[in-house]
Homo-oligomer: A and B are copies of this chain.
Amino acid sequence: MGSISQHLAELDASNFKVTRSTTLRDVPLPGSPEELSHSHCTDHMVTVRWTDTNGWETPEVKPYQNLSIPPTASCLHYATECFEGMKVYRGYDGKLRLFRPDCNGQRLSNSAQRSSLPVFKFDQLKKLVAKLMQIDGPRWLPNPGTFLYIRPTMIGNGPHLGVQVPKEALLFVIAVPWPDISSKGLRLYASTPDTIRAWPGGFGYAKLGANYGPSLQAHGQAKAMGFDQILWLFGEDRQVTEAGASNFFIIWRDASGKLELVTAPLENQLILPGVTRRSVLELVSERLSTQSVGSLEPLKVVERTLTIAEIEKAAEEGRIVESFVSGTAYFITPVAMIRNVNTDISTLGPNGESAGYTTLIKSWLEHIMFGKEQHEWGYVIEDGEN
């Protein structure tokens, strides 16, 4: 059932079997088709095998290569799979950093449990990533101010076609150059009642493959109509949950004129508990909830259920200040508008201009990620033997 047994070896990233690649891959140029493919991975990958008889085996670093998977593996039939999205940043001080990697480790272990895959001590994940980056970082991420995308993934890959808890699993970590997809302003298409991403008692709070594949149909239809992402609504009152693969935030004045930063709550387990989401809430609470920053007035941080009707009303009354999504892939990206049924809602401030909150929050995070600000959230990867 995914619980750690005394008899099974725990995940231990203090020891590795390393096989170096002898044929190095081309590093794609920024903006090249290879980079835009989101799929041109670095020279190596990390794999760790687990069995229900022995637990976690010794992690391996090996040349990037296709996986050999039995046609009967449960990841191909029953979606026994979960993943994380992370980035590794080359700081302006020349160091490589991860951003709050234990949050990703904890969430991956939680996701594994929800999909009946093995759990692990979550602080080991950052060490797996660090090992990969000690080897591939120098050649693939040489330039300060740039990043690679990191994808830790766990799959049930044993040859067992019966519908049952997996007896074998593979945790692997790959790294891939990723174009900067933050844009001027996203166009969101609000989901219709005939397609729903998550439900109470389901698994919307876990980063399971099962949350993504079934959402691609609506996503593809929205893309074809010129939108960037689905804004997933839920329930008869059309609650705003999350946007595509990112969390949704709105800054507005409430009816009394007070400035608020509002996002959906975690309690009903409908949305993914984003690491960037949590960081935004924590930074704004600490730095901008009781004091102004420059010309920007303080924001009250509010996690609560909000509906699309509230957003529409705020737009009509000119109370919206800014809106943005947060996530590892999209980072902090402004939202320009939302189409809900036949209504286009502008989520920009008066005159279509941003007040500057989104830019400020983004810069705070960037400073931590790229080492301009020394902060406990930045996990420095020590140089390896490379």
Contact = CB atoms under 8 A, between A and B. Distances in A.
Interface string A183-218: 000000000011110011111000011111110110
A151 B156 CA distance: 18
Contacts of A196: 199-202
A350 interface: no
Given A196-B201, A199-B196, A71 B79 contact: no
Interface in A144-169: 149, 151, 153, 155-156, 159-166
Interface string A207-233: 011111110110111001000000000
B71 A64 contact: yes
Interface stretch (A17-25, A34-42, A294-302, A305-313): A34-42
Interface residues of A, number: 69
Contacts of A116: 213, 216-217, 220
Q: List the number of copies, as a whole number.
A: 2
A382 to B, nearest CB: 26
A163 B194 CA distance: 21
Contact of A214 (B67, B68, B208): B208
A341 to B, nearest CB: 15
Contacts of A162: 38-39
Nearest to A164: B216
Contacts of A211: 210
Contact of A75 (B75, B151, B199, B245): B75
Contacts of A64: 71
A240 interface: no
Contact of A220 (B161, B164, B212): B164
Contacts of A78: 209, 212-213, 216
Contacts of A221: 1
Nearest to A179: B162
* Best-buried of A81, A159, A176 by chain B (most CB within 10 Å): A81
A124 to B, nearest CB: 20
A263 interface: no
Interface of A: 1-2, 37-39, 41, 45, 64, 66-72, 74-81, 83, 113-116, 149, 151, 153, 155-156, 159-166, 172, 174, 176, 193-196, 199-203, 208-214, 216-217, 219-221, 224, 244-245, 329
Given A39-B159, A209-B213, 11 more contacts: A1-B221, A67-B76, A76-B81, A79-B209, A80-B216, A151-B161, A163-B329, A196-B200, A208-B210, A208-B214, A210-B210
